Amino acid sequence: MKKTIIILSSIWLAVSSTLGQTAEDALRYSRVYYNGTARFNGLSGAFGAVGADFSTLGTNPAGIGLYKASEMTFTFAPIITHSTATYNGTNTSADEVNFGLGNFGFIINVNPSGRGNQGKFKAFNIGFGFNRQNDFNNQVFISGINTRNSMMQSYVDELNTKGVPPEYVRDDYPFDIGLAYATNLVAFDSAPQQYYCDAKYGGVSQSKTISTSGSMNELELSMGGNFNDQLYFGLTFGVPTIRYYETSSYQEVRTQDTIPNFISLNYRYNLQTQGTGMNVKFGLIYKPASWVRIGAAIHTPTWFPSMHDEWFSSMQSNFTVTQWNATAYSPIGNYDYRLTTPFRAMGSVAFIIGSAGLFSADYEYVDYSQSRFNSQFDSYTDVNNAIKSTYQSWGNLRLGTEWRLSNFRFRGGFAYFSNPYVTGSNNSERFQASGGFGYRSRHFFADVTYVWSKMAQDYYLYDADMVNPTHINNYTHTVLTTLGFRF
C-alpha cells in the first residue's frame, strides 16, 4: 500500500506548483454513483433490466422504451455526511448537511400503444432532464500528535534533495514550500548550504480540516422505443457538468518547549474545479418470457474538453521571536485542461413475480486506469502513468427488490462499489443499503427512500514515507423524495 501512496505523493510534489492535477482528481470524477429518483435509489440503482424510471436514462437508456405514458418527475435529496478519522491514536469526527436535487425530467410518449397502434412497433419515447451522478459534499477533521517529524521537515527534505537555490524557492513552489520559506518556517544555512526547520523531530500537534462541496450532474437527452413488447432499446446523449470546491486548513502547534522558536503554523488551501463533458449511452432490454428481462448497456468514455482549475493558498507562522511572525499568500493559479474518464459496460437481469413484485441485479464493469489528462501546452505523462499503475479494472454490483400492495410499493436494495486501487494499495470500497416505499395512482406517484453508505480510505497529511496514514470512514445518509405526474 505505502509504495503506491509514496509514488502518488512524489508526483503531487512534482506537479502541485505547475499543473495541479493528480491521479486522485481523475478518480474523483470517474466514480459514478447514479443518484436520481427515490424509486431508483430504493433498489440501489438495480434498474438496468427493470426500466420505466427516469434515472435509467443515465444507466440503461433502454428503460425509456417501457414507458406507456408521458411523465414528469422531480426529486429532492437532502444529504447528511458523517466522517470519523483516526490519526496516531486520536479519534475525531465531523458532520455536514446539504440540500440538493436528485433529478428533474420529462418523458414524452410520442406514439403510445393502445391508441390504434396494432403494429409491432408499440411506442417511441423521448426524455430530457438531469440526474445527479455524484455528490462531493463532505467534511473531515483530523487531529493527532506527531513525535517523529513535521510538515516543515518534508519541505526541507524536498529542497535539500533537489538542491534548489534560495532565490528560486518562491518561484518554484509558489503554493506551498515557497510560502513556508517566506514565513520563516523553512530557512537556509549558507555555511553547509542546507535548508532546515525548527521541528525536525516532531513534538507537534497536527490537525487538518477538509471541507468539500459541489456535485456532478448530467443533462440527458434520450430516445427509445418498444418493439412488440419484447425488445426495448434506447440512446442517451449525456452532458455531465462538474462543480467541485475544496477548502482545507492545516495547523501545527508545538507540544514541547524543547523546540526552539517555533510555536505554530497555519496553511490554508482553496481549490475550485469546473468542467463540462459529453458521452453517449446505448442500451437494450430483452424480454424472452413474461417473468424475466435481460438488459445490457454501453457507455462511451466521457470526454471533458473544458476543465478549469483555480486555486490559491496562504501560510501564517508564529514564533517566540515576534519579528519572525509572517503571513504569505500565493498567486491565484489558473489552468485549463482536458480529462477523459473510462468506458463502462453493464449487464442486468430482472425477475418479475407477476403483479406482486420483482428482483433485479446489475453488474457494471469499469476500468479506472483508463482515465487520462491532457493539455495543449503540457505533458501529463507522469500523472497518466500513475493512473495506469495505481488503479484497476473491476466491477460494481447493485441488487434490488420491489413489492406491491394495492397502490403502495415497498423497496429495498444493496450496492457494492469495488476498490478502484490495485492489490495492496489504499482500499476505497463503498457499501450502500437502501429502503423505501411509494404510492402510485393513474396520474400521480410519490416515493420516499433512505440511503445509507459507507466508504473507508487512508489519507496522508503529507509525504507518506514520513507520516502515518489517517484512517477515515465516510458515512452518508440521504433521504430522497420524488413527486411524479403522468399525462
Number of domains in the chain: 1
Distances 253 to 90, 169, 321, 463 between C-alpha atoms, Å: 16, 24, 15, 19
pLDDT tens digits for range 341-357: 999 999 999 999 999 99
pLDDT confidence of residue 2: 45
Tell me if 198 is assigned to some domain.
Answer: no
| 434: Cα separation from own chain's centroid | 19
CA count, 13 A, side-chain hemisphere, 484:
28
Q: Please give the single-letter amino acid code of residue 222.
A: S
pLDDT confidence of residue 15: 40
What does the DSSP 8-state code read for residue 421? B
pLDDT confidence of residue 385: 92
Tell me if 193 is assigned to some domain.
Answer: no
pLDDT confidence of residue 122: 83
CA-CA distance, 74 to 67, in Å (whole number)?
17
Which pTM value belongs to this model? 0.90
pLDDT confidence of residue 43: 97
CA-CA distance, 235 to 479, in Å (whole number)?
30
CA-CA distance, 248 to 253, in Å (whole number)?
17
pLDDT confidence of residue 114: 56
Q: Kindly report the CATH number assigned to the domain that includes residue 410.
A: 2.40.160.60
CA count, 13 A, side-chain hemisphere, 453:
25
CA-CA distance, 36 to 133, in Å (whole number)?
8
Tell me if 411 is assigned to some domain.
Answer: yes
Nearest to 283 by CA among 327, 330, 347: 347
- CA-based angle 379:384:387, to the nearest 5? 160
Task: Please compute Rg for the chain using Cα positions.
Answer: 26
The cell for 95 is 458532520
Tell me if 151 is assigned to some domain.
Answer: no
Which H or E run contains 151?
helix 151-162
Question: Domain range for residue 456?
Answer: 2-135+217-311+336-486
Tell me if 260 is assigned to some domain.
Answer: yes
Query: What per-residue string of b and e applies to 81-99 under the rule 16 or more CB within 10 Å gives b?
Result: bbbbbbbbeeebebebebe
Nearest to 55 by CA among 461, 485, 467, 482: 482
Q: Are 70 and 64 in contact (CB under 8 A)?
A: no
pLDDT confidence of residue 359: 98
Low-confidence ranges of the chain (pLDDT < 70): 1-20, 112-118, 423-426
Which residues fall within 8 angstroms of residue 331, CB to CB, at 6 or more apart?
174, 312
Tell me if 116 is assigned to some domain.
Answer: yes
The 3-state DSSP class for residue 189 equals strand
Nearest to 294 by CA among 341, 250, 230, 338: 230
| Backbone phi and psi for residue 339, each to the nearest 5 degrees, phi listed first | -135, 135
Tell me if 473 is assigned to some domain.
Answer: yes
Tell me if 186 is assigned to some domain.
Answer: no
The DSSP result for 323-378, as a single string, is GG-EEEEPPPEEEEEEEEEPPEEEEEEEEEETTTEEEEEEEEEEEGGG-EEE-SSS
